[in-house]
């Protein structure tokens, strides 16, 4: 809950003088040595996870990864539950709870079991090349799963896990969320309301060779635009009877989006277009069919796209602007825009999130690592932590560093397991000793 922020020391000078961060404690030193000693174990776990396909629509594969994580978490003292998501047409979520000392902060760890690579993808295998490895989901987000395990094992070895109150939610549909989203994210939202801090174990962002701290994520909102017009011989277009036709109406709207929508922290995209005498999208909205002739005024034109914002207020403002543009019809045409359900909300850069980054930078100093600047939110996509951002402050990007995510050749920086697991173990240990 946000009321803890008032007790957090926010000035860098004050933090530097705090006994809590004057240097690593003996337990914290034990955590760092454990992470290093178990590095090859972590890489081996990552290999097993990656080699199990868990595309979002491979329901059995996602559950299989869930079983692998259960096998890691139960020996650490977590009560683990598999929550089926048949009602949302997805596999399910893994939820794990560790009960520690009463009256101390409750931590929520967030990650996901699925990847974008389905069973028919040609990209299926983990291949190690020194301190890097290539494979589907190696960074996004199986690297994050491994960091969680490595950090918790280090806490166990150092004796700091036993008193920690930790709930873990590993969703099975982050890359292609279930529908309705209200069901698909109900367990995560409930966990956020119970927590005092949320930690997101998706990938670490790096800029110019420097690790970055992520304190915000933008929303993701999809839309479908349908324009209609009067069809007839092309020689009659633009006259008083037939007007401009559906494709010109669609083009008018898209051009005005480009001219009138831009504002800070907003991006918007048109991803798919079809138009003609008739046109349609498939059930998934990722393929289109159309039929028409150059000498026939088009009767229908369709477009799908998205937009991303940094706050709910910005989302509603952009929706209203888009709707107003759509309503200004060209002659002889009509159009409507539908904003699709199931979007991801924004995670705004709150003062509480900033304070958590200050805490993490105290740990960086103690570890001899460079401090992390806050990442520009424009450079971070949507994610599951946004569903809890209204209820709890959090940090993003505690997973591994990687490149080429969501494409064949996705490559994880294996060495990042070490520093990310150390950061996470120490941060969780320190936070878990505090009162809410």
Terminal Cα-to-Cα distance of the chain (whole angstroms):
8
Regions of the chain with pLDDT less than 50: 1-22
What's the predicted TM-score (pTM) here? Answer: 0.87
| pLDDT (tens digit per residue) in 383-435 | 999 999 999 999 999 999 999 999 999 999 999 999 999 999 999 999 999 99
Q: Please, what's the b/e burial string for 217-230 (b: 16 or more CB within 10 A of its CB; e: otherwise)?
A: bbbbbbbbbbbbbb
Q: What is the pLDDT of residue 380?
A: 85
Q: What is the pLDDT of residue 1?
A: 46
C-alpha distance from residue 85 to each of 341, 368, 370, 420 (Å) = 18, 43, 41, 30
In 3D space, the residue among 204, 138, 146, 128 whose CA is nearest the CA of residue 412 turns out to be 138
Domains and CATH numbers, the chain: 2-218+346-432 (3.40.630.10), 221-339 (3.30.70.360)
Q: What is the pLDDT of residue 342?
A: 79
**Environment class of 338 (CB within 10 Å of its CB; exposed 0-12, middle 13-18, buried 19+):** exposed
In 3D space, the residue among 150, 145, 140, 193 whose CA is nearest the CA of residue 170 turns out to be 145
């Amino acid at each position: 809950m946000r009321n803890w922020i008032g007790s957090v020391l926010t000035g860098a000078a004050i933090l530097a003088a705090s006994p809590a961060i004057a240097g690593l404690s003996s337990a914290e030193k034990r955590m760092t040595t454990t992470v290093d000693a178990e590095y090859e174990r972590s890489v081996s776990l990552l290999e097993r996870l990656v080699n199990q396909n868990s595309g979002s629509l491979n329901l059995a594969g996602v559950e299989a990864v869930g079983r692998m994580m259960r096998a890691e978490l139960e020996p650490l003292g977590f009560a683990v539950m598999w929550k089926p998501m048949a009602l949302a047409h997805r596999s399910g979520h893994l939820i794990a709870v560790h009960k520690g000392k009463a009256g101390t902060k409750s931590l929520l760890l967030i990650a996901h079991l699925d990847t974008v690579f389905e069973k028919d993808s040609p990209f299926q295998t983990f291949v190690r090349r020194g301190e890097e490895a290539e494979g589907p989901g190696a960074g996004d987000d199986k690297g994050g799963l491994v960091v969680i395990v490595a950090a918790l094992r280090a806490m166990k070895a150092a004796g700091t896990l036993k008193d920690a109150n930790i709930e873990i939610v590993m969703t099975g549909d982050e890359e292609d969320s279930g529908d309705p989203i209200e069901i698909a994210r109900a367990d995560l939202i409930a966990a956020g309301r119970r927590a005092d801090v949320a930690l997101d174990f998706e990938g670490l962002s790096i800029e110019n060779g420097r690790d970055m701290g992520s304190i915000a994520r933008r929303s993701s909102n999809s839309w479908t635009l349908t324009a209609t017009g009067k069809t007839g011989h092309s020689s009659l277009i633009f006259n008083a009877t037939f007007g401009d036709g559906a494709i010109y109406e669609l083009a008018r709207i898209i051009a005005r989006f480009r001219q009138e929508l831009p504002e800070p922290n907003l991006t918007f995209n048109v991803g798919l277009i079809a138009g003609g005498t008739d046109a349609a999208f498939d059930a998934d909205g990722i393929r289109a069919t159309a039929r028409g002739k150059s000498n026939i005024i088009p009767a229908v034109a369709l477009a799908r796209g998205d937009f991303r914002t940094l706050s709910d207020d910005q989302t509603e403002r952009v929706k209203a602007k888009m709707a107003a543009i759509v309503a200004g019809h060209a002659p002889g045409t009509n159009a409507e825009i539908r904003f699709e359900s199931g979007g991801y909300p924004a995670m705004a850069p709150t003062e509480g999130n900033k304070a958590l980054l200050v805490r993490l930078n105290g740990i960086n100093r103690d570890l001899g690592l460079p401090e992390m600047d806050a990442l520009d939110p424009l450079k971070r996509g949507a994610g599951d932590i946004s569903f809890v951002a209204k209820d709890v402050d959090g940090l993003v990007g505690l997973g591994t560093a990687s490149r080429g995510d969501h494409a064949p050749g996705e490559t994880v920086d294996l060495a990042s397991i070490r520093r990310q697991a150390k950061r996470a173990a120490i941060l969780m240990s320190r936070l878990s000793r505090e009162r809410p």
